[in-house]
Amino acid sequence: MTPSTIGSSSSRRSNYRRSFEFSDNFSETSDYGVGGTMLPIFLNDLHKNNQNEDFVEITLELEDDEIFLHSVTPAPVPPDTSGDDAVSAGFFSRSVSATSKLRRMFSWRKSSSARPSISGRPSTSDIAEDLTISARDIRKMRAKLQRTRSSAQQALKGLRFINKTTGTIDKNELWLQVESRFNSLAMDGLLSRENFGECIGMLDSKEFALGVFDALARRRRQKIERLSKEELYDFWLQISDQSFDARLQLFFDMADSNEDGKITREEVQELIMLSASANKLSKLKERAEEYASLIMEELDPENLGYIELWQLEALLLQRDNYMNYSRPLSTVSVAWSQSRSTVSTKTKNVVRSITCTLRCLILENWQRAWIIIVWILIMASLFAWKFYQYRHRAGFHVMGYCFTTAKGAAETLKFNMALILLPVCRNTLTWLRSTRARLFVPFDENINFHKIIAIAIGFGIVLHAVSHLACDFPRLITCSPQDFALISDEFNGKKPTYKDLLTGVIGVTGIAMIVLMAISFTLATGHFRRNVVRLPAPFNRLTGFNAFWYSHHLFTLVYILLLVHGFFLFFVHNWYQKTTWMYISVPLLLYIAERTLRACRSNYYSVKILKAAELPGNVLSLMMSKPHGFKYKSGQYIFLQCPTISPFEWHPFSITSAPGDDYLTVHIRTVGDWTQELKRVFTEAGGSSSVNGRATFSQQVQKIESKGLQRLLVDGPYGAPAQDYRNYDVLLLVGLGIGATPFISILKDLLNQLRTTEEQTDSNTETSRSEDSLNSYTSSSATPNLKKKSQRTSSAHFYWVTREPGSFEWFKGVMNEVAEMDQRGVIEMHNYLTSVYEEGDARSTLLTMVQALNHAKHGVDILSGTRVRTHFARPNWKEVFTKIASKHPHATVGVFYCGMPVLAKELRKLSYELSHKTSTRFEFHKEYF
């Protein structure tokens, strides 16, 4: 007889598990009146009949003074020392027979329907019902045991009614906020039911809050429409209770509208609709009945038509198991559980922490730093050289240091006016990206460097203009005749007035340049360019991208005036001393050549629209014919011009098609005036509105063609950081909203590479089968060489974070294609929807479970409609980086990001931190288009 095991599952109930021995003499017709005191006698009789040493395991359920049979299973077969298989087989058959006997003997079950009939023997229906309830009770006991192994802290993360910080902020502080809102919302000292959600902080999910209100009201056995402050406080204490049992009971009571302790499918459906409404997921509300059936199928396999509290509890406590269970069905979402090793990111002491921070800063900024340092040194050298040169001129004795300061500032201005053109020579930068110069020059920062130079030009203009207008001009017109005689030759012997200095060629050109550059700089600032500044008509035309674009072309006049201004300088007579043209000639000619190339190429790269579609989230998808000879790399971008809208405006967009495709595609977010007009041209031609979604626009395109509006000009391609993705072993692609566009081309390219590799593998396999063993060996030994010739990238992790569920329609076809082709899990795709409350919030808990169950059963995500499962809220980026480092040790990971600058700082910091704390090297790059 094996030792007994007793485990407590609650204050009133415990499990008694013990193995008993009995023989074949155990009569099926024996009638024991077992129950309370008769149980020891019955067990003792079983123990005496132990001739054949047959074992079964009996699990009993003890509640108060009653004992119920939980389960009877054959015990493991003991080792067969004699080697006689027949003995083992006989042992097993006798154990099974004994199991059936015991099930019929223990007719004193908890359920009255399972009790023996008057004749003393259970009927067939009784036995069937007994077995049904037994299976349910077994799951119930397992759920209770599972609960005892779950930590309370982990459970609290699974069900929150207020917010993530409820457990860390003092209850009194939270109540003060609720009380303040009560005072502003209450009328006559009472808070209405409709304002309950806003009062407790559920302003965006009022329907869900009303469900909470009704559940709490039912506990009072009252129909409450208005609350006093005392009643609200009582409700608040129940909502903010830190006990998982209290939260679970409240969540259960929300669904249990008739208070019978059971939840039917209709009640589950209602709770799903409340959760979908709180998260603004209208599509889920339409399919709430289907998802409610899915929940019932999982929790009510006996088809009794209801679920109880313990079943809902088991579902929530085993959330991680359900989430992990659904992952293997998605070939593009590999479970993190495959790599359990963790990476410690804690520093041992303050010194090491500071050292690591400084090292990260150096490695992160050394390319920018040396460029900026060299640039500053050049400006300082030019300023000092010109300052020293004019320090020994006659003009210094008349105008002093104002004169030398103005000349030094002018020299830096000429240098910067020439340098500012280089960062916008995109063709040159694209070519330089393919050289080794990319290793020490941060070409990704070209626009930022362009802005920094513009700031330096602004400071130079102020220093130069103020030195002239406020200092040396007044000193010149008020100097003594003796001092003026030193420089009279510069002014033909006539002392000028202040008006003469301003109205001369130098004065007019200088003031004109200041005015033009002030206009251009102002309209190029973020507030004006992004249309943040709201001006009354007609001044509202001074804001937006158009104003920025046209005002920037005023620099054509500025450069002409600069050449004139530099030619008529005072105190300089020889042509080789007038160095303005020397500074700007080469950069200006390079820029003119680039613009000429763009104009010629754009006329040659005129494309036709093959398909236009308006997608959810104000996104316009354009499929264009691929121009002959147009070659590009994944991650690059192009400029588009629509002559119908404007013959001068060019706008950059990332290419979303792969280099191997015979067409070009772009996805355009219609947020500006030009993009909105483009959308109108291609989706509302002829007065017909486009259909929102995956619609076809063949009729509209025909109307467009008939009107001659189908023509688009393409300029490019131009280099971007993501085009170098092949230089890395592993890719981490992070896109926010429309920022996913540059990475879709990369995924398609990787997909094409997978398809090519599989075709080569199939070809090699067929060849090896058709040849003899020697040739087969030769073919197999050549396989590593084929792998060596393939691209370096071996794995990619794509994280797409968006706020709108409809965004997943943009690249639904790509995600499904990746899921179908990527059988080896090379590409992992992770979608995150930030508009849904984070996983663990009560408003999204049931949706999370529905999503996991549906993905496990059908392999399809309920939000995106693809095999890529959608997560809620924002990713834990530190956890993401840590797991990638664990999964890919000693690898070089290229981190490519396109989105808001705030997250870029966090990702950049994590890249450099983990590069020095793990064996994995992360290199961060930010996309700008």
From CA 690, how far away is CA 679, in angstroms rounded? 10
Alpha-carbon 835 to chain mean position: 12
Question: Which CATH code for domain 608-685+707-758+791-834+874-928?
Answer: 3.40.50.80
Tell me which amino acid residue 247 is.
R
Residue-level pLDDT at 548: 86
Residue-level pLDDT at 732: 92
From CA 601, how far away is CA 595, in angstroms rounded? 10
CATH class of 170-240: mainly alpha
Query: Which of 110-119, 239-248, 266-275 comes out lowest in average pLDDT?
Result: 110-119
**Structure confidence by residue, pLDDT tens digits, 251-304:** 888 888 888 888 888 988 888 888 888 888 888 888 888 888 888 888 888 888
Beta-bridged to residue 830, according to DSSP, are: 799
Smallest Cα–Cα separation from 72: which of 104, 41, 116, 40?
104
Which phi and psi (to 5°) does residue 23 adopt?
-110, 175
Structure tokens at 213: 């209100």
Residue 111: which pLDDT band, with cuts at 50, 70 and 90? Answer: very low
Which parts of 481-627 are beta strand (E)? 606-615, 619-625
Query: Which of 45-49, 86-90, 439-443, 900-904 comes out lowest in average pLDDT?
Result: 86-90
Residue-level pLDDT at 615: 85
From CA 652, how far away is CA 719, in angstroms rounded? 12
From CA 929, how far away is CA 927, in angstroms rounded? 6
Which phi and psi (to 5°) does residue 50 adopt?
-125, 30
* Residue 425: DSSP 8-state: -
Length of the chain: 929
Given a contact cutoff of 8 angstroms between Cβ atoms, the answer to whether 68 and 110 are in contact is yes
pTM summary value: 0.69
Smallest Cα–Cα separation from 843: which of 238, 285, 275?
275
Residue-level pLDDT at 134: 63
* 54-63 and 13-22 strand pairing: antiparallel
Asked if residue 527 has pLDDT above 60, the reply is yes
Q: How many CB atoms lie within 10 A of CB 469?
A: 18
Residue-level pLDDT at 789: 39
**Structure confidence by residue, pLDDT tens digits, 409-440:** 999 999 999 999 999 898 888 888 888 888 88
Alpha-carbon 661 to chain mean position: 27
Residue-level pLDDT at 871: 84
Asked if residue 41 has pLDDT above 50, the reply is no
Asked if residue 883 has pLDDT above 80, the reply is yes
Residue 776: which pLDDT band, with cuts at 50, 70 and 90? Answer: very low
Tell me which amino acid residue 292 is.
A
Over the range 364-403, which residues count as b (16 or more CB within 10 Å of their CB) and which as e? beebbeebeeebeeebeebbeebbeebeebbbbebbeebb
Classify the phi-psi angles of 891: left when phi > 0, otherwise alpha if psi is within -120 to 50, otherwise beta. beta
Cα 168–171–177 angle (5° rounding)? 105
Asked if residue 378 has pLDDT above 90, the reply is yes
DSSP H helices in 568-720: 580-604, 673-683, 698-707
From CA 197, how far away is CA 842, in angstroms rounded? 14
Residue-level pLDDT at 476: 87
* Residue 888: DSSP 8-state: S
Residue written as token pair 């094409």 = 752
Classify the phi-psi angles of 65: left when phi > 0, otherwise alpha if psi is within -120 to 50, otherwise beta. alpha
Q: How many CB atoms lie within 10 A of CB 879?
A: 11
Q: Say how many CA atoms lie within 13 Å of 385 toward its Cβ.
A: 9
Structure tokens at 172: 């009194």
* Residue 187: DSSP 8-state: B
Residue-level pLDDT at 385: 93
Task: Report the mean per-residue pLDDT for the chain.
Answer: 74
Tell me which amino acid residue 531 is.
N
Given a contact cutoff of 8 angstroms between Cβ atoms, the answer to whether 235 and 227 are in contact is yes
* More confident call, 563 vs 66: 563
Tell me which amino acid residue 681 is.
V
Asked if residue 589 has pLDDT above 70, the reply is yes
From CA 603, how far away is CA 727, in angstroms rounded? 34
Beta-bridged to residue 664, according to DSSP, are: 624
From CA 754, how far away is CA 143, in angstroms rounded? 44
Given a contact cutoff of 8 angstroms between Cβ atoms, the answer to whether 898 and 740 are in contact is yes
Q: Which residues contact 329 (CB under 8 A, 6 or more apart)?
A: 855, 856, 859, 867
**Structure confidence by residue, pLDDT tens digits, 20-39:** 444 444 443 334 333 433 44
Q: Which residues contact 677 (CB under 8 A, 6 or more apart)?
A: 642, 645
Residue 346: which pLDDT band, with cuts at 50, 70 and 90? Answer: very low
- Helices 319-326 and 309-317: crossing angle, nearest 10°? 60
Residue 61: which pLDDT band, with cuts at 50, 70 and 90? Answer: low
Element (DSSP H or E) covering residue 736: strand 730-736
Tell me which amino acid residue 500 is.
D
For the stretch 854-863, contacts whose Cβ atoms lie closer than 8 Å and that sit 24 or more positions apart, written own/partner, are 854/291, 854/294, 855/326, 855/329, 855/330, 856/322, 856/325, 856/326, 856/329, 857/294, 859/329, 859/330, 861/831, 862/284, 862/287, 862/291, 863/281, 863/283, 863/284, 863/805, 863/808, 863/831, 863/833
**Structure confidence by residue, pLDDT tens digits, 475-511:** 888 888 888 888 888 888 888 888 888 888 999 999 9
Residue 373: which pLDDT band, with cuts at 50, 70 and 90? Answer: very high
Alpha-carbon 308 to chain mean position: 36
Given a contact cutoff of 8 angstroms between Cβ atoms, the answer to whether 195 and 185 are in contact is yes
Which parts of 324-441 are beta strand (E)? none
Given a contact cutoff of 8 angstroms between Cβ atoms, the answer to whether 861 and 847 are in contact is no
Q: Mean pLDDT throughout 153-180?
A: 64
From CA 546, how far away is CA 540, in angstroms rounded? 11
Q: Provide the Cα torsion 143, 144, 148, 152; round to 10°.
A: 70
Asked if residue 353 has pLDDT above 90, the reply is no
Q: What percent of the chain has pLDDT over 70?
A: 71
Residue-level pLDDT at 928: 64
* More confident call, 58 vs 731: 731
Helix (H, G, I), strand (E, B) or coil at 754: helix
Query: Which of 563-567, 742-746, 810-814, 839-843 comes out lowest in average pLDDT?
Result: 839-843
Q: Of 61-75, 536-550, 649-663, which one has max mean pLDDT?
A: 649-663
Rounded CA Rg of the chain: 39
Q: How many CB atoms lie within 10 A of CB 909?
A: 17
